[in-house]
Every structure is written in structure tokens, then in C-alpha cells.
Amino acid sequence: MMDYISVAEAAKRWGLSERSVRNYCARGRIPGALLTGKTWNVPEDAEKPARKPRSPDAKRDVLTVLREEKAARLKGGLYHRVQIDLTYNSNHIEGSRLTHDQTRLIFETNTIGTEGSVRVDDVVETANHFRCIDLMIDAANHAPSESMIKQLHAVLKNGTGDSRKDWFAVGDYKRFPNEVGGLDTAAPEEVSAAMKALLRDYNAKKDKTFDDLLDFHYRFERIHPFQDGSGRVGRLLLFKECLRAKIVPFIITDELKAFYYRGLRNWEAERGYLRDTCLLAQDQFKQILDYFQVSYQ
């Protein structure tokens, strides 16, 4: 009868992280590894997998890796990391009180561990945001459209308290005026025409630059097309458009929130504020890509 050791024991024995051992198990790199429930068991006599030499021509770009890991439901990889980090930070910017660990638990186990009370909408919107990221990855190579943007909003707000309000238009443009960061936004009757103009101008650009993506994001947020959720939908679109343009994507962390809002407020007068903030976020994301050995330019 074969004896097994835990992932933690194998990681210590081989001088690897537990995440690396789990990845090796999931990819079939450790013969005889068994998955019991959600726990991998490693044969006691298993040898440390040799690192596969990577061909200089074999590039694992961000979108390819995200799609492959999404299809495999691989744990501990880039897809897993993006789901948790993007969801936690984007929701936290908008006032969610869930912690990073609680967000991770919802993604990994569909449960939440808490000693105090939590807002139901925070939990629902977190689970919904995971689905939005999947939609974004699936549609990464498609040009943004009104139907795509409305679908993201419908998924994000599905089952929330707002969805039960007669006046709240889930999956449709706002019906009442609102503002963002103290700035005026498009009036409800102006939103449809403004969105059509934004998408027409943006999609007409063939080779999109980093500033083109930021300008699209700025204009989207100044329109603020939805009653609630425009910020999260806008950041999802920004991440998706980076993937489509083969630009290294990034996640605006909660720590960058003040600089991010300053950048949006001052975009028309000084583009450097928002550009520098996003470039810093991009550098942070490159460190993640380096860890997972994902290619980028």
C-alpha cells in the first residue's frame, strides 16, 4: 500500500512553496498524486518534478494563461490570483467591508468565515464579480459594446438589494442623476447617446495606446452610466481592454484609491496623475506575472 505525505511536507522536503506543489499535482507532474476532497496527497517516495525548459518561442501570455487556468479551474495560479485580487480591491474601493481573506474564502469554498456581521450585498456582489471576470476573459478579444457593458452590470448586481428596487435599472442605464467623487456625470437622458459616442470613437482607433485605454476609462466614469456599479464595470472593462490590446493589465489596489480618483478628476488638465498611478499598478502586476512565469512585453 502506497504511503502519502501532505503538500506541506512535500514543499518543505523539496524547498518549494505549497502553491507550487499543488500546481504540480494539478498539472499531473507528480505521478500518483491523489486529490481527496480539496486536499492533494503526495506519494511518500515521489521525486521533485524537474522544471521544464521553456522554448524561447513558447510564450504564455496573460490571456492564454487566464483562459487555460479558467478552463482547468486550476487553484493557486494566475487566474486564481486575479479573481481574488481584482474582486477584493475593486469592491473595496466602492465600500465593501469584506477582507481579502473573506473574499478568498468565497472564491475558494463558496463560504465565508466571520466573527461579526457582514452585509449580504457585499457577499452577493463578490460572488457576482467572480462571474464578471469570467465573462471578461471569455470576451477579451471582442470590442466593447453596449450589450456587453449592460451584461456585466446585470451580472454584477443580480440578486442584490438594488435589484429588488423598482426604480433601479439592473443591466440598464441609470434613471436618476448621480455624481462620482464630487464630479457631475451625464444626465440620465444623455447617457445612451454619450455611450454610443464613446464606443464609436474608441472602437474606431485601430492600434490603441495606454493613454487611449485610460481616456476610454475616464470618459466612461464621467458618463457613469449606471445607478451604481459604474466604477467596477469600468475597471473590469479596463482590465479586459488591456488584454485585448496586449498591454500588461493592472489592478487598482485600495491603497491607490486616492491617487486613482485624483487622476480621474484631473485627466483633462494633467494626464500624468492617472497615467503614473496606473503604471505603478502595472509594475505591481508585472511582479505577479514574473512569479507565475507569464510572458509580457
Average pLDDT, integer, range 131-160: 97
pTM of the predicted model as reported, rounded to 2 decimal places: 0.80
Q: What is the pLDDT of residues 190-233, one digit of tens each?
A: 999 999 999 999 999 999 999 999 999 999 999 999 999 999 99
Q: Please compute Rg for the chain using Cα positions.
A: 21
Q: What is the pLDDT of residues 148-204, one digit of tens each?
A: 999 999 999 999 999 999 899 999 999 999 988 778 999 999 999 999 999 999 999
The helices-and-strands tally (H runs, E runs) of the chain is: 12, 5
CA distance 114 to 100: 12
CA distance 181 to 188: 18
Which residues make Cβ contacts (< 8 Å) with residue 130, sequence separation at least 6?
A: 83, 87, 106, 107
Lookup: cell for 238 = 479596463
Q: Biggest alpha carbon distance in the chain?
A: 72
Which residues make Cβ contacts (< 8 Å) with residue 201, sequence separation at least 6?
A: none
> Do 230 and 162 touch, CB atoms closer than 8 A?
no
Instruction: Read off φ and ψ for residue 143, nearest 5 degrees.
Output: -65, 145
CA distance 11 to 20: 8
Q: Is 297 helix (H, G, I), strand (E, B) or coil?
A: coil
pLDDT band at 112 (very low <50, low <70, confident <90, very high): confident
What is residue 55's predicted lDDT score, i.e. its pLDDT?
45
